Structure 1
Amino acid sequence: MNPCPECKAPLYDHPDYTQWCPACDWNLQPDAEQNQAQNIFEYYYLKLSEKLGLELFQVLKTQNLANITHLGKLSTGVRLFSIGVIFVYLSLILTGLFCLWLFRGQVVGSLIGLMFLGFAFLATPKRQPPPYAGQTVLDATNLPMFYSLLQLCATALNTPQPDGVIFTPEFNASVSIYQKKRYLFIGLPLWSVLNTEEKLALLGHEIGHLAHNDPMQQRLPDFAMNILFRTGDAICPDNLAPHYEGNLFYEDKMIQSFAEILLIPFNWLLALIAHGFWGLGHLLLRWLWADSQRAEYRTDLNSLRLASLSACLTGFEKFTLEPEIHEIARQRIRKKQTEKPGSLFEETLTHWQNMPSSEHERRRRILEKEKHRVDSTHPTTAFRMEMLKFQAEYIQRQELPLIN
């Protein structure tokens, strides 16, 4: 074996897998990617998780999370704050309409009314398309046996049953509620590489979300946060200092730069106001964060009710197969192996089963790294796996028929 360049210990050196050091974790994850925030909401959420995640985990790990009953109930402070934000938003609309009616025919008064309505328009949350837009929703008539399994799982977990199932090309799974109907999204690549128990663990987690409501998914705080973050996004200027684009003549550059210099104080004022709205959104998010994380941990317990602890943990480990399935798909496309399209997932599963023990150990260590998480709103994967180990003694498993 070759020696590690860091600690000189022997490396795990397999020709088909990453070379790494088991002693000091050198080259453990050479292509590591951190969770990237897609918007200001996710940015704040990740910062809270990095700052407070370990402390919350230490507090919760010795508790019986199955006995927590207050999840889903908003505190009085959160309710009042959210109602206050929505009241101010509605006041902008009413004030604008009142000014237009009171000062009808007067230019200045009408402009003031339009200004209030403009602010209200900027703060209005965008209407979201259905989560299943452009995808096929399968009901019980399409998947009778699968819906029978979902009904068994929902009954065992005492949760509502999904109203529709959507299979996606994603390497993930989720649930969504739209117009009081519940939809289960299952990534076919992920589903195809899981064994029977791991599939039950996945269903337990996703269906569990329908019972243990994340407080941030409730309409009142969700609407208030959307107002605050959307207003901040709308009024914050893209640039605070002068800039220009394109091929301009010298005189045009001077005029444009001079105009933008005059706008600098106004841009800074708008930026400060935008950060004020973001700060209020951050405050509301801070109040809800701990309960949201508890809801995620508690939802994980439903996996233990339907599957063994080892199946829950290996299910987490198989999330590391996403790069492999993409690479195998690219290789098949290059080789034009289209005669057996269904064998793509079988090939990925065979790839997993044939991995040497050193590669499985490397992937386990990657998952144990504190910053690895499924997405920005989940606790770190390491904390979720450890929490399952601590909570296993409190959970009684429900026996269900096997699935194919």
Structure 2
Amino acid sequence: MPETLTTSTRPCPGCGARIVTDPRFTAWCPVCEWNLGAEPSRGRWRRWRRARDHARVERLYAKLAARPADLRIGRGAAWLLAVLLAALVHLCTLGVLAGSLWLLVRGYPFLKLLGAAGLCLTWLLRPRLGGWRGDPAVLAREQAPALYALVERVADELGTRRPDRLRITRAYNASYGVRGLRRRVELSLGLPLWTALTGQERIALLGHELGHGSNGDQRRGPWLHTALRTLEAWHALMMPHAGDRFRPRNGSKRAFDDLVTWLLLWCAVPVRLLHGALHRLTALSSQRAEYLADEMAARVASSAAAGGMLGKLFLKDSVGNHVSQLRAAARNRALPAGADPVEEFWTGLSAYLESVPATERERRARLSAREMTAVDTRHPPTHLRVRLRSERPQQPAAVVADRSQWAAIHRELAPARRRIAHELIDF
């Protein structure tokens, strides 16, 4: 049951309107948006870039709201240019490899040392396809047959590939990835987010993530994805963060470190520009793919469930604050004898989420709209995703699960709940 807390009313310092306050959350005014929480951008350049980025995502939203058929992703000039830039990245890696091998075969002893160093560099800059090693977060099929069955029902309904494995993580998020040379599908589900959702909203989450298997997201293709990761590896190699790694003891050492850092900064400029160009060329396509994945979520779980699932994303910071408070409390108090700290944690989290007042949910939504906050750089702003769901035609659920199925899934996730509770809270 949600915890009972006393609320109070007070006049708004900004406009004088009466506002309802909850001691757990920020007091703010829905009328004049006093103390909403957003801070203005500093600097004219930052304000200009922010306004430009906001205008781009607003134009995409307006286009998709007016013409829903544009949700489908095509391959235009931006895609072709991104493919060519990715080819340049891969050719650079191949060039380093070929030159290193030539030095090893034909070079003098000193040049062979350079060739060996080049091979090491090639290994560091190689395209990353993602590993498929043992992971404690992986939930095997024999451990969770009911959950796998539900996931596969959703995948079959959408006509996408069934996941090869599931991961249960502590993130307030979920993700879909294709890994390794064999391009196996991995679905990661964050248990805190899973706990925050209702049954149909969980199916909507599965529908959204599995929808990435067929929504045409260009960044998820191996050619562009590996190029972006290679550029990130280049940048990490060129930027060793000298200020953190080196502890100069005298002025000459400090001057040398500053010079090295300055040179590396300039060497990294082309890498940053190329990464920024690839990111920009594929940004709108990636955001369009997210909107399409939301459409698939609505198709499989109902429009109401998809909208509810997206609305719960606003609570990420609230959940993080709650977990931080529990972690601090666990260090200073002893649990009652016989109490199960794991079940106490998850029961308390569920009760907390149910008790979040409508005013706090509204504040989070308005803050998202003002700041254009999103899950990450691939996603459009969350408030636009919620708005588009409310404006699209309502769809019924294609996949449902009964109470016994959810009970079986709850039992299957018990080991993951215990592991993640101990990761989040040091009991």
- Shared fold, TM over 0.5: yes
Identify unmatched segments of 5+ residues in structure 2.
1-8, 42-48, 407-427
In the other structure, the counterpart of 1:37 is none
2:325 paired with 1:323: no
- How far residue 357 of structure 1 moved from its aligned partner, in angstroms, is 3.9
Query: Which of 10, 16, 20 is the aligned partner of 1:12?
Result: 20
Cα gap change, 1:14 to 1:229, in 2 (>3 Å): closer
Q: Percent identity?
A: 25
Q: Structure 1 residue 112: deviation in Å?
A: 5.6
Measured against aligned partners, the alpha-carbon deviations of 1:220-251 in whole angstroms (never above 9, x if no partner) come to 122222333322332346459xx9846x4xxx
Paired amino acid for 1:138? A
Residue 253 of structure 2 is matched in structure 1 by 256
Letter in 2 for 1:207: L
Taking the aligned partners of 2:133 and 2:283, their CA distance within structure 1 comes to 24
Cα separation, 1, equivalents of 2:165 and 2:51: 34
CA distance 1:384–1:335, shift in 2 (3 Å) = farther
Contact 2:73 2:285 in 1 (8 A): no
Quick check: 2:301–2:400 contact (8 Å CA) kept in 1?
no
Shift of 1:277: 1.7
Aligned CA distance change for structure 1 residues 157 and 276 (closer, same or farther; 3 Å): same
Counterpart position of 2:401: 402
Determine if the alignment matches structure 1 residue 232 to structure 2 residue 232: no
Aligned partners of 2:99 and 2:138: how far apart in 1?
A: 44
Looking at structure 1, the residues matched to 76 and 162 of structure 2 have their Cα atoms a distance apart, in angstroms, of 18
Residue 93 of structure 2 corresponds to residue 96 of structure 1: no
Distance 1:159 1:66 in 2: 21
Contact 1:328 1:348 in 2 (8 A): no
SS in 2 for 1:75: helix
Task: Name 1:26's counterpart in structure 2.
Answer: 34
In structure 1, the partner of 2:163 is 162
TM-score (norm 2): 0.75
Aligned-residue Cα RMSD (Å) equals 3.6
> Structure 1 residues 231 and 10 mapped into 2: Cα distance closer, same or farther (>3 Å)?
same
8 Å contact from structure 1 (residues 71, 212) kept in 2: no
Q: Is the 8 A contact 1:46 1:377 kept in 2?
A: no
Number of aligned pairs?
A: 377
TM-score (norm 1): 0.79
Equivalence for 1:214: 217
**Structure 1: how far apart are the matches of 2:70 and 2:345?**
39
Shift in alpha-carbon separation, 1:366–1:270, aligned structure 2, 3 A: closer
**Equivalent-residue separation in structure 1 for 2:253 and 2:23 (angstroms):** 59
Q: What do the CA deviations read for 1:181-240 (whole angstroms, capped 9, x no partner)? A: 212222222222321221121111111112224211211122222333322332346459
1:31-76 Cα distance to aligned partner (Å, 9 max, x none): x9x9xxxxxxxxxx99985563223222222222476153799933
Provide the rounded CA distance (Å) in 2 between the counterparts of 1:69 and 1:228.
25
Give the superposition deviation at 1:347.
Answer: 3.3
Partner residue of 1:81 out of 82, 85, 107: 85
Unaligned stretches of 5+ residues in structure 1: 35-44
Q: Give the alignment of 1:2-401 within 5 angstroms.
A: 2-29=10-37, 50=54, 52-65=56-69, 68-70=72-74, 75-105=79-109, 107=110, 109-110=111-112, 113=115, 116-117=118-119, 120=122, 123-125=125-127, 128-130=130-132, 133-139=135-141, 141-179=142-180, 180-236=183-239, 238=241, 245=247, 248=249, 253=250, 255-256=252-253, 260=256, 264=259, 268-319=262-313, 320=315, 321-323=318-320, 325-326=322-323, 329-330=326-327, 333=330, 334-336=333-335, 339-340=339-340, 341-390=342-391, 392-393=392-393, 396-401=395-400
Instruction: Evaluate the alpha carbon distance shift between residue 292 and residue 15 of structure 1 in structure 2; reply closer, same or farther with a 3 A threshold.
Output: closer
Note the C-alpha offset of 1:288: 1.4
